[in-house]
Amino acid sequence: MRREVLVLIVVVVVAILAGVAASPFSGQKFSDSSSAAVEVPFTEITNGLQSKVAKRVNYLIRSEVGLQELWKLIEAEGQPPEVDFTQEAVIAVFAGERPTAGHSVAVSKVEDVGDSRVVTISLIQPAPDCVTAQVVTMPYEILKLPATPLPLTHKDSVAIVNCSE
């Protein structure tokens, strides 16, 4: 009986090895899919030029209480929109205090790349030759997107708006 069990085990192992060898992917290496970027859809909730946030900062909001606090920071009227925090999260990006009009901030792309979610943010400013109102602004943008357990990182880029055209 022992010999029969041993023969059966050898036959199973040989069959498995033969199946792997016959596989069309045998011997091929797979690229690391963690480095492939997957674009994440997002929806803008609101944006503006005045808030209580005077420094360049980003916030991730994962609760109704956090959204209520954010609503106070931007001094928005009324109630914030409905967000299903079991499925969604809110991101708020603030450009910080700017000395003139013509500045804004916008999320241009969100991607899951490897083991993190990367938010690409454009900090928009007027060209030096632009005539702008001498008024302090604190631009922001708030958006919602699918929730993720991945940590968030960001990449900032500066975009200059040419006013002489």
Tell me how far apart the alpha carbons of residues 4 and 10 are, in angstroms, rounded to a whole number: 10
pTM, two decimals, is 0.76
Tell me how far apart the alpha carbons of residues 161 and 127 are, in angstroms, rounded to a whole number: 6
On whether residue 143 sits in a domain, the answer given is yes
What is the count of structural domains for the chain?
Answer: 1
Does the pLDDT at position 41 exceed 60? yes
Range of the domain at 127: 33-161
On whether residue 119 sits in a domain, the answer given is yes
Position 2 confidence tier, pLDDT thresholds 50, 70, 90: low
Q: Where are the beta strands (DSSP E) in the chain?
A: 37-39, 43-48, 57-61, 88-94, 104-113, 116-126, 140-146, 152-161
On whether residue 9 sits in a domain, the answer given is no
pLDDT value of position 161: 87
pLDDT value of position 143: 97
The DSSP output letter for 35 is: G
pLDDT value of position 36: 85
Q: Which two tokens stand for residue 81?
A: 């929109």
On whether residue 58 sits in a domain, the answer given is yes
The per-residue pLDDT for range 75-94, each reduced to its tens digit, is 888 899 999 999 999 999 99
On whether residue 11 sits in a domain, the answer given is no
Q: Which two tokens stand for residue 12?
A: 């199973």
On whether residue 72 sits in a domain, the answer given is yes
Q: Say what percent of the chain tops pLDDT 90.
A: 64
On whether residue 10 sits in a domain, the answer given is no
